[in-house]
Amino acid sequence: MMRDATMAHWLRGLVSLGAVWLALLSWGCGKPPVMANKYLLEYPSPAVQGQPLPVAVTVARFAVAQTYNSTAMVYRPNPYQSETYNYNRWRVNPGYLVTDYLVRDFRNSRLFKAVFGPDSANKSRYVLEGGVAEIQEVDEADGWKAALALNVTLLDLSQPEITKRVVFQRDYRAAEPLLEQTPKSLAQGMSRAMEKLSARIITDTYQAVRGAGK
């Protein structure tokens, strides 16, 4: 009888534990998943003046500094600190983001005979390479800013010597003030920064190619 009572008590405990586990499992499965907001850039292609040149340009895929090499939206609350916004991300990696907009803006400038992207099989004399050195919100005493820094190299592949292929190598940076300390405001500020840098890069490329005489 003692053994039967012990067994019954053990079984009741096991059933109770199973009920608790099922309840927790049901609660967890019923909880809606957390959805992340995803952001892109939005700005009109900059207007750059000039006569169209009979040359083609290829925009290669931009590399990204490891600190920003993900879709996370990074912000710097204080010097030496780096954080990311929870549940808010860029739609794609910053390397793809910057490259896609540069290809679009170069084409819309209508300053070159053709503009190819990194996935194109077409070849061109000039290739624009680069990297995203910074893409983050910077919180400073005078306000919040969207900071975007790009390094760019223009290559002339018609030159047989590698040392003579570099037409120019330059660093570009813009810091746009934010109206609010929010991911949406960061996307808006980053759009303005990209618009400014894109205009400068297109202008410098155009002038360099025109100066080459072809």
* 29 pLDDT tier (thresholds 50, 70, 90): low
How many other β-carbons are positioned within 10 Å of the β-carbon of residue 108? Answer: 16
Q: Which percentage of the chain shows pLDDT scores above 90?
A: 78
Residue pLDDT, tens place only, 81-137:
999 999 999 999 999 999 999 999 999 999 999 999 999 999 999 999 999 999 999
Say what the pLDDT of residue 31 is.
58
Which of 12-16, 157-161, 167-171 reaches the highest mean pLDDT? 167-171
Say what the pLDDT of residue 211 is.
87
Q: Which of 115, 116, 66, 123 is nearest to 95 (CA)?
A: 66
Which of helix, strand or coil describes residue 201? helix
Q: Which of 120, 109, 113 is nearest to 198 (CA)?
A: 109
Residue pLDDT, tens place only, 129-165:
999 999 999 999 899 999 999 999 999 999 999 889 9
Global pTM value: 0.83
Say what the pLDDT of residue 8 is.
47
Asked if residue 7 has pLDDT above 80, the reply is: no
* Domain 37-211 CATH superfamily: ABC-type transport auxiliary lipoprotein component (3.40.50.10610)
* Torsion angles phi and psi, residue 11, rounded to 5: -65, -40
Where do the domains of the chain lie?
1-33, 37-211
Q: Which of 21, 41, 87 is nearest to 186 (CA)?
A: 41
> Do the beta carbons of residue 89 and residue 39 sit within 8 Å?
yes
Give CA separation, 151 vs 27, 33, 66, 128, 181, in Å.
Answer: 50, 39, 15, 10, 27
Say what the pLDDT of residue 212 is.
81
